[in-house]
Amino acid sequence: MVSNTIKERPINIALLGCGRISSKHLEAIEKHKDDLNLVAVCDIKKDRAKEKAEQYDVPFYTSYEKMLERGDIDVVSICTPSGLHPQHGIMAAKAGCHVISEKPMGITLESVDELIHVTDEMGVQLYVVKQNRLNPTMQLLKKAVDKGRFGKIYMIHTNVFWQRPQEYYDQAKWRGTWEFDGGAFMNQASHYVDAVIWLIGSVDHVLAETATMARKIETEDTGSAIVRFRNGVIGTINVTMLTYPKNLEGSITIIGEKGTVRIGGVAINKFEKWEFDSYDDDDEILEKSNYEPPNIYGLGHLPYYKNVIDSLRGKTEPYTDGRSGRKSLELILAIYESMKTGKRISLPLS
């Protein structure tokens, strides 16, 4: 249960990891400053921690343990390498802090199950950032699915055709490693894997091919997966980080007996096809839902943090908790297992 004190005062939040994605979190926290009070930032690289600390006028730490010893932190937002998310989340939970984990919430089911168990045991909330669900285009598509406007859905198809040059991987040793990062499916495409499950439902089995074609990394830079959902829908997920010369598209297409929709753009940010057999008032707000994202992360972090605030104040349920975030990780791991064995992999994983 959320305490009365957190309902009545600003929520103290600290951020761990001051790298690439941290700016989106800090911007969202700043825009919610009436409800969120940033009290500290931490990074093992002193210059990065100091830069963010000076920008937002807060103390910085290079020791996570020292930051947790403050005693005034309600929530820790974790923006460290993916393989460290469970460990860092568990440390926060044991210090009595709620946990916001960037995607993916981990790279093994064992580690994320332990994170879920510890947050349950400590009575704290676990949030997994899946901000693309909150982009206006995706919200409108989800409404169409939930209203049954497609009738029987036949297929869902998603492409993530982006560019990550070798310099991107060389900037941080953990990128493109199995221990800390995973490949294109685990990192760049994880929001899209989450989206197909969120829109369509549970997966029955998957068959996949992946390859490391051009980048000097341990993990895959390219791959395709064929997904069969329990409700009979067939899905495909196609991913590459080798698109020339820059990010081309992040798209989702749904084809049903009574409708066809394609959201395209560089990051599912504009409707390229929206056609149903009957009118709905949502058709009138189609153009308003299109937007130009400042980057591939979209605009979802701001409403995501609003959900965190409302959840901690007891006003609503979390959009994406640990168990929800686990589902996309399980599908990604099944994709990797299919790649390794050459076999169709059934879910849930044993």
Convert the pLDDT of each residue in 150-167 to its tens digit.
Answer: 999 999 999 999 999 999
Q: Answer whether residue 120 is part of any domain.
A: yes
- Regarding whether 104 and 172 lie in a shared domain, the answer is no
- Regarding whether 200 and 67 lie in a shared domain, the answer is no
- Regarding whether 226 and 138 lie in a shared domain, the answer is yes
| Residue 298 pLDDT | 60
Q: What are phi and psi of 349, to 5 degrees?
A: -70, 140
Q: Answer whether residue 298 is part of any domain.
A: no
- Regarding whether 338 and 247 lie in a shared domain, the answer is yes
Asked if pLDDT for residue 1 goes beyond 50, the answer is no
Q: Which amino acid is at 291?
A: Y
- Regarding whether 141 and 103 lie in a shared domain, the answer is no
- Regarding whether 151 and 84 lie in a shared domain, the answer is no
Sign of the dihedral defined by the CA atoms of residues 216, 221, 222, 223, in that order? positive
The 8-class DSSP code of residue 276 comes to E
Q: Answer whether residue 116 is part of any domain.
A: yes
Q: Answer whether residue 196 is part of any domain.
A: yes
- Regarding whether 241 and 266 lie in a shared domain, the answer is yes
Provide mean pLDDT across the span 1-22.
82
Q: Which of 128, 162, 195 is the last residue of a domain?
A: 128
Residues 229, 232, 236, CA angle at the centre, nearest 5°? 50
- Regarding whether 200 and 82 lie in a shared domain, the answer is no
Q: Which of 82, 111, 128 is the last residue of a domain?
A: 128
- Regarding whether 140 and 91 lie in a shared domain, the answer is no
Cβ 29 vs Cβ 57: under 8 Å: no
- For residues 122 and 125, what is the distance between their CA atoms, to the nearest angstrom? 9
Asked if pLDDT for residue 4 goes beyond 70, the answer is no
Asked if pLDDT for residue 320 goes beyond 80, the answer is yes
**pTM (two decimals):** 0.94
What confidence tier does 6 reach under pLDDT thresholds 50, 70, 90?
confident
Count of beta carbons in the 10 Å neighbourhood of residue 148: 12
- Regarding whether 178 and 94 lie in a shared domain, the answer is no
- For residues 318 and 142, what is the distance between their CA atoms, to the nearest angstrom? 17
Q: What is the CATH number of the domain that holds 49?
A: 3.40.50.720
- For residues 243 and 241, what is the distance between their CA atoms, to the nearest angstrom? 6
- Regarding whether 179 and 108 lie in a shared domain, the answer is no
What confidence tier does 237 reach under pLDDT thresholds 50, 70, 90?
very high
Find, among 79, 119, 106, the residue nearest to 330 by Cα.
106
Q: Is 329 helix (H, G, I), strand (E, B) or coil?
A: helix
Q: Which helix (H) or strand (E) holds 42?
A: strand 36-42
For residue 228, the cross-strand partners are 205, 234
Q: Is 210 helix (H, G, I), strand (E, B) or coil?
A: strand
Q: Answer whether residue 310 is part of any domain.
A: no
Provide mean pLDDT across the span 175-179.
97
- Regarding whether 93 and 143 lie in a shared domain, the answer is no
The 8-class DSSP code of residue 71 comes to S
Percent of the chain with pLDDT over 70: 97
Q: Following DSSP, what letter does each residue of 74-125 receive, concatenated? A: SEEEE-S-GGGHHHHHHHHHHTT-EEEEPSSS-SSHHHHHHHHHHHHHHT--
Q: What is the CATH number of the domain that holds 335?
A: 3.30.360.10
Provide mean pLDDT across the span 167-173.
96
Q: Answer whether residue 151 is part of any domain.
A: yes
Average pLDDT over the chain reads: 95
- Provide the number of structural domains found in the chain: 2
Q: Which two tokens stand for residue 146?
A: 């939930």
Find, among 65, 78, 105, the residue nearest to 21 by Cα.
78
What confidence tier does 295 reach under pLDDT thresholds 50, 70, 90?
low
What confidence tier does 350 reach under pLDDT thresholds 50, 70, 90?
confident
Q: Answer whether residue 284 is part of any domain.
A: no
| Residue 60 pLDDT | 98
Helix ranges (H only) for the chain are 4-8, 22-31, 46-56, 64-68, 85-94, 109-122, 136-146, 166-170, 190-200, 286-289, 301-312, 322-341
Q: Which of 128, 144, 179 is the last residue of a domain?
A: 128
Q: Answer whether residue 99 is part of any domain.
A: yes
Range of the domain at 159: 132-277+329-346
Residues 18, 22, 291, CA angle at the centre, nearest 5°? 160
Asked if pLDDT for residue 248 goes beyond 80, the answer is yes
Count of beta carbons in the 10 Å neighbourhood of residue 50: 15
For residue 206, the cross-strand partners are 227, 345
